Amino acid sequence: MSKQLHAHWSSRLTFVLAATGSAVGLGNIWKFPYMVGESGGAAFVLVYLVCIALIGLPILVAEWLLGRRGQKNPINTMSELARHNGLSRGWTLVGISGVLGAFLILSFYSVIGGWSLSYTLGAVTGEFSGLDADGVGGLFNGMLASPGVLLGWHSLFMILTIGIVARGVTSGLEGAVRTLMPALAVLLVILIGYGMTTGHFGEAMNYLFNPEWSKLTGTTVLAALGHAFFTLSLGMGIMMAYGSYLGEEVNLLKTARTVVIMDTVIALGAGLAIFPIVFANGLDLASGPGLIFVTLPLAFGNMDGGVILGLMFFLLLTFAALTSAISLLEPVVEFVEERTPLARVGATLVAGAGAWALGIAALLSFNVWSEPLVFGLDVFNLLDTLTSKFMLPLTGLGAILFTAWRLDRRSVQSELGLSGGSATLWQLVTRFVAPLGVIVVFVGSL
């Protein structure tokens, strides 16, 4: 069946960079910092870290372990592992839902990646210069109102993604993350350094880290749980696909610890880059697209050095989005490559073109096709809801249940190098705590 030897990461470092690149995305930049600030600062960070340790990290390890054992795309990995262990073929659904989820998310993720590209250019050409709040709002809404503009940027972003993935795991994915991740780190450090000069760094530190236990409620804990899951790109077949290129020598637990630490540090760093600028310019806090595409451009357009800082910020955002987008395309391409006669380039073109076409329906939701399709949701929100609320938690749940309850316990423990107390802890966490956590997120989000 296989046309060539299955690819492998050329080192543990590039694997770490690729996995971190996937994990660090829009969520780290437009969601996490704001969530921390609004939900209790250090108190929230603490809860979040517990969620990461008890839910995110075990599922991350489980997905890598499954992928590494299968050495195939997530769908074949699940069907073969099920067959191998004499289990129901129904487990294949976990792989199917993962690959499908990645495909669906990529379609609209690319639309937002396109916004980021557009604002990178906007920063260079000084498009925000001197604009007031209405001006930057008008700029953003103007972009959303134009199908042609959105299509152009979405297409460009998808072409970049396809261009990287088509070159394969070693030259494409590794080549990209080897350049983009260090660049991302450098940009982040410079932006934080700038934040320190604004005179409002302390305010940002206080906003992010001052613990306010009273702000911890059921809702904020639920948000921490959900984000711990989303930020590690779990339940999308991504980490399974990345695991399928892993060799036996890599220590999964240690590697997962590195990845979650980097993901969290970068997310907090993003807050230390963003909030000093927001506070120094006396702007109102917002979250999500509003913070990134309206509030920050307003600041960049009205401060000294705004052109260069704006350029650096939107490059950072674009790099974060691009390394996540390639990770979304990878499981789909791996599947097409292994299941059809197509080679890498053909498989990437087919998978990428499919997601691109679906992305057109998503981008029309902002303008000519904004009427709800079903359940009062337009295509963009339908894709978002279907994937993040349903497919991801259920896929992640399937992966952890399969690993904890269906695979031979001893072989998993020896693969992870666990014994004695640590083995018992792993057993407890993966069999009960993590699945329960996902179920809570799933039910809570409905």
**Residue 107 interacting with ligand PHE (CB under 6 A):** no
The yes or no reply on residue 27 touching ligand PHE (CB under 6 A) is yes
Q: With CB under 6 A as the rule, give the number of residues binding ligand PHE.
A: 15
373 dihedral zone (left: phi>0; alpha: psi -120 to 50; beta)? alpha
Tokens of 222: 């639920």
Smaller CB separation from ligand PHE, 236 or 383:
236
Q: Does 26 bind ligand PHE (CB under 6 A)?
A: yes
With respect to ligand PHE, which residue has the nearer C-beta, 104 or 278?
Answer: 104
Tell me, residue by residue from 263 to 302, as one string, x for binding to ligand PHE by CB under 6 A and - for no binding. ----------------------------------------
Token readout for 143 is 């972009």
CB of 40 to ligand PHE, least distance (A): 20
Q: Closer CB to ligand PHE, residue 233 or residue 430?
A: 233
Which of the stretches 21-29, 43-51, 83-91, 366-374 binds ligand PHE when contact is defined by CB under 6 A? 21-29
Q: Return the range that interacts with ligand PHE (CB under 6 A); candidates 227-235, 282-290, 367-375, 429-437.
A: 227-235
- Whichever of 188 and 298 has its CB closer to ligand PHE, that residue is 188
Comparing CA positions, the residue from 129, 149, 28, 123 lying closest to residue 314 is 123
Residues 57-86 touching ligand PHE, rule: CB under 6 A, are none
> What character string, x for contact with ligand PHE (CB under 6 A) and - otherwise, covers 306-345?
------------------x--xx-----------------
Contact 26, 287 (CB under 8 A): no
Binding of ligand PHE by 105 (CB under 6 A):
yes
> Which range, of 150-158, 230-238, 341-349, 436-444, touches ligand PHE by CB under 6 A?
230-238
Burial of 241 (0-12, 13-18, 19+ CB in 10 A): buried
CB of 15 to ligand PHE, least distance (A): 16
Residue nearest to ligand PHE (CB): 25
Q: Figure out which of the listed residues 9, 16, 17, 28 binds ligand PHE, where binding follows CB under 6 A.
A: 28
Min. distance of Cβ 24 from ligand PHE in angstroms? 6
Using alpha carbons only, what angle is made at residue 96 by residues 92 and 98, rounded to the nearest 5 degrees?
115
Nearest CB to ligand PHE, comparing residues 330 and 338: 330
Does 403 interact with ligand PHE (rule: CB under 6 A)?
Answer: no
Nearer to ligand PHE, 258 or 367 (CB): 258
Contact flag: residue 19 with ligand PHE (CB under 6 A): no
Residue ranges that bind ligand PHE, judged by CB under 6 A: 22-23, 25-28, 105, 109, 230-231, 233, 236, 324, 327-328
